[in-house]
Amino acid sequence: MREKVRPELRRASGTGLNYRNVAGVETMRGTVFEFALEVDQQIASLTREQYYLRTGRAKILLEELYPLSRFALRLQYPGIQLEVEAFEDDGPIDGVLRWKRIPESETPS
């Protein structure tokens, strides 16, 4: 299946996250720090009304993406690369965390 990326999913924050829409499911994917930064920036850009009434994108940001980003930050530790992929739909899974061990030769001394 061919992957489609909607222009409005490309954020201007420069965090390096990948935005995709595959089979009607929008996803955000990036390292744990890029993901948390992007979520924080998007929450900061919400209007007061959106934030308190949970309208528009605010509901997904505050109830799905923010908790996922904080959980992922808590699991991050030196020597691994943690990647977060969030599914922005009403499915049973909010996201996936992927660990990749960094070889000792690549870690700073």
**Tens of pLDDT, residues 82-101:** 999 998 887 888 899 999 88
35 domain residue, yes or no: yes
| Cα 93 from Cα 72, distance rounded (Å) | 15
69 domain residue, yes or no: yes
CA-based end-to-end distance of the chain? 43
Among residues 78, 76, 72, which one has the least CA distance to residue 95? 72
**Tens of pLDDT, residues 34-82:** 999 999 999 999 999 999 999 888 999 999 999 999 999 999 988 889 9
Please give the model's pTM, rounded to 2 decimal places: 0.76
87 with 27: CB under 8 angstroms?
yes
Instruction: Classify the phi-psi angles of 56: left when phi > 0, otherwise alpha if psi is within -120 to 50, otherwise beta.
Output: left
28 domain residue, yes or no: yes
| Cα 10 from Cα 48, distance rounded (Å) | 23
82 domain residue, yes or no: yes
2 domain residue, yes or no: no
Domain with 28, as residue range(s), is 7-106
32 domain residue, yes or no: yes
Q: Count the domains in the chain.
A: 1
66 domain residue, yes or no: yes
